[in-house]
Amino acid sequence: MTTDKSHHDALQAYLNVIEKNVSKRADASLMEHFAHMLLSKLPDKPLSPDSYRAAVDSLLESLPPEYKRDVVIVARELFPFLISDIKSVAAMMKAGGYSGFTRKDAAIDDGAIKSMSDLIAVAEGHKFTNRESALHGKYMTCLGSLGLEESVIAMRGRISKALLYLVRNNEVTPVHYRKAINSVMPILSSEETRLYFVLVAREFYYFLTGDPKAPEMIKANEANR
């Protein structure tokens, strides 16, 4: 099977899922458009995570800011089809993926937030509830027990507080948390920054949901890194 044929088959499978799950016709059409644009950026060789990220970054650089969030969503949802990862497709569907571009409850609703630094500054100035502060405090205590450098702990603390701000006053569910993460991706300046943000997001999720095994999971992840 040629690369072009495999990409075409993956695209068709993706569009079939979109057609069944996206209620807004405008969203479905835009998702198809972005998917075609992304495929045009892919190299004519077997796909790897690195080559896919490069293609996504290339597409993002060519688009106006107002489209970047939506492109990130399409890129994330299309990738499992391109590598025939059916389990990931099923997991993303279960978490609310492949449902279009939901904007009315987007996590970042402040037009002044245009960078991660802006988001961190807003989060630092926000007054959190006692419960929210306690959850963040448990995460910070766990980080402190890992023997990490103070600068690393401080950075993860700022990012996790930004995440806490994004889900403030809402029940933390996989769907809402995923939307919060997606809303931040377009304002992150590099792939390295995106990967680090997702790393912290995954760690902090255990604490946000009150998982009693959260400290153990973080320590195990750190030991395996």
Of the chain, the percentage scoring pLDDT greater than 70 comes to 92
pLDDT digits (tens, 9 = 90+) for 127-165: 888 888 999 999 999 999 998 899 999 999 999 999 999
pLDDT digits (tens, 9 = 90+) for 45-90: 888 888 999 999 999 888 877 788 888 889 999 999 999 999 989 8
Tokens of 96: 């609310």
| pLDDT at site 45 | 81
Model confidence at 3: pLDDT above 70? no
| pLDDT at site 1 | 38
| CA–CA distance, 2 with 148 (Å, rounded to integer) | 47
Q: Please check whether residue 204 is in contact with residue 197, taking contact to mean a CB–CB distance below 8 angstroms.
A: no
Q: Average per-residue pLDDT in the chain?
A: 85
Mean pLDDT value of segment 89-97: 84
Model confidence at 225: pLDDT above 80? no
Q: Give the count of alpha carbons within 13 A of 48, CB side only.
A: 4
| pLDDT at site 2 | 46
| pLDDT at site 18 | 92
| pLDDT at site 9 | 92
Tokens of 108: 């970042």
Residue 66: exposed, middle, or buried by beta-carbon count in 10 A (0-12, 13-18, 19+)? exposed
Count of Cβ atoms closer than 10 Å to residue 75 Cβ: 20
Q: Give the count of alpha carbons within 13 A of 131, CB side only.
A: 9
Q: pLDDT band at 17, cuts 50/70/90? A: very high
Global confidence as pTM: 0.55
| pLDDT at site 99 | 84
- Nearest Cα to Cα of residue 204 among 186, 184, 190, 191: 184
Distances in whole angstroms, Cα of residue 180 to Cα of each of 95, 174, 185, 216: 13, 10, 9, 25
| CA–CA distance, 32 with 74 (Å, rounded to integer) | 9
DSSP symbols for 14-28: HHHHHHHH---HHHH
| pLDDT at site 104 | 44
Model confidence at 201: pLDDT above 90? yes
